[in-house]
Amino acid sequence: MGFTIAIYVLNILASIFIVFEERKRPVATLAWIMILFILPGVGLVLYIMLSQLLARHRLSSLSSSMLLRDNPFLLEQKRLMSEGNFNFVNTQAANWRQFIRFNQEYASAYLTQNNDVKIFTSGSECFESMYEDMRAAEKSINMEFFIMKPDYIGLEIVKILTEKARQGVKVRLLLDAMGCRQMRSRHFKALRAAGGQVVMFFPARIFKFDLKLNYRNHRKLLIIDNDIAYIGGLNAAREYVGDSKKFGGWRDTHLRIRGGSVFDIDSRFIMDWNFANNQEISLSPSDYPVSTGRDCAVQIISSGPESQETEIKFAYLKLISSAKRSICIQTPYMVPDESIFEALKTAALSGVDVKIMIPNMPDHPFVYWVTYQNVGMLADYGAKIYIYDDGFLHAKTVTVDDEAASVGSANFDIRSFELNFECNAFIFDREVAMDLRHLFEDDIKRSRRLTPELYAQRSRWIKIKESISRLLTDIL
């Protein structure tokens, strides 16, 4: 009897915390309260695993060290733009000045205009490029992954990092503890012995079992010699090169960048590193190259639970609402909040050519069936929906009006917007945007259209899966 009363008291306390401290979405709040009182013991365990009990002040260093709103370079850039005296190096950046200004104010995102951007859609080609650049490193390699596995991809990366550390290159490897739970200390023994540093982000405290499923570092970053950066959707494992019995082929998007935005990407890495390793490393823009011969404009935007804001979500929202002609989205998960959903509906109803591509198979079943339901509803409003059939689609890209684009780690789901640490490159350049648009159109050839008529014909079993999955995703 006493134990039962204690459980209900804890449930009441958890309910009070959800309402007054976590400030979740109303639907999520009601869903959690219902679970806590229908399943008192089980609900409490689920809440501990999935809640946001982690105090945000512990994460403040992730957003306050090098991207301060009083950054003198950012303040000067904003002043010039507000006075109409800022020199945009290409027409696309000038056309998107309001969006750029929004990102400056809301996300403290500095605009660099001297970038050279290369797009990879093949994991094999991207990793070969990474290997080549890492082997040529002379000063430093900073690497951050959500997933690394002890297969021939992950172990090859560790091998190269070990070789470079032995040559005197400064090597830092930051891995999310949950996403990289298959990696063991023995896999890094030689790297550490050579002087390389390996740190886990939010490591498990008890026997590698972590009750915290949220607050995962979902970023995928690589910075070499302050000169080259990689950012996108690829993790370090064999499935990302299409070597998987479950998924078969793998379609992703990753960028190789040289130019001013390398400093911003490295700053994001160093902030994560300082937090995870309890250090105070600082960077100087003067240590980074300033010219590449290209005038591609880029803003690097990161977001995560350390911030009260949802920077990437609002950047997506502004990007979509600013579209005049076309929107092309590739995402494995389409589970946004109501604001993004309404923006896409509004764009489609306004005559904007909205195209959305999702995978033909789930890697997370509940999330997939909510995705399927959401895109089915968007099809009713005029969006063109494509189901990619040539393996698994993991790319996270948005292209708008063949002028602006985003590539990074953030999916179109609430987890990416509120619970994960993410990083995206927002690009203002016709050549890059057109390349992404052409890649999308090429992927359509390996996809099938989900029309409103086809969606209406889905089986009763699919409808049941959609309904159950919708309830489960609301507790995030």
Q: Which of 225, 264, 266, 429 is catalytic?
A: 225
Q: If we measure between CA atoms, which residue out of 301, 256, 253 comes closest to residue 398?
A: 253
Degrees, nearest 5: CA angle 134-139-141: 45
Amino acid sitting at position 17: F
* Residues recorded for the chain: 476
Q: If we measure between CA atoms, which residue out of 225, 242, 228, 269 comes closest to residue 153?
A: 242
Active site residue 57: no
Q: Which of 164, 220, 254, 384 is catalytic?
A: 220
SS3 (DSSP) at 240 = helix
Q: Which of 396, 429, 443, 465 is catalytic?
A: 396
Contacts of residue 21, defined as CB under 8 A and 6 or more positions apart, other chains included, come to none
Q: Which of 218, 254, 313, 465 is catalytic?
A: 218
Active site residue 218: yes
Would strands 412-413 and 254-258 be described as parallel, antiparallel, or unpaired? Answer: unpaired
Q: Which of 401, 413, 429, 474 is catalytic?
A: 401
Q: Which tokens sit at 257?
A: 């960048």
For residues 200 and 305, what is the distance between their CA atoms, to the nearest angstrom?
A: 18
Active site residue 254: no
Would strands 422-428 and 404-408 be described as parallel, antiparallel, or unpaired? Answer: antiparallel
Question: What separation, in Å, do the N-terminal and C-terminal C-alpha atoms of the chain show?
Answer: 31
Q: Which of 254, 394, 429, 443 is catalytic?
A: 394
CB atoms within 10 A of CB 179: 21
Amino acid sitting at position 238: R
Active site residue 396: yes
Active site residue 24: no
SS3 (DSSP) at 373 = helix
Longest CA pairwise span in the chain (Å): 74
User: Which helix (H) or strand (E) segment is 99 a member of?
Assistant: helix 97-107
Mapping DSSP onto H, E and C, the string for 345-356 reads HHHHHCCCEEEE
For residues 334 and 354, what is the distance between their CA atoms, to the nearest angstrom?
A: 14
Q: Which residues are catalytic?
A: 218, 220, 225, 394, 396, 401
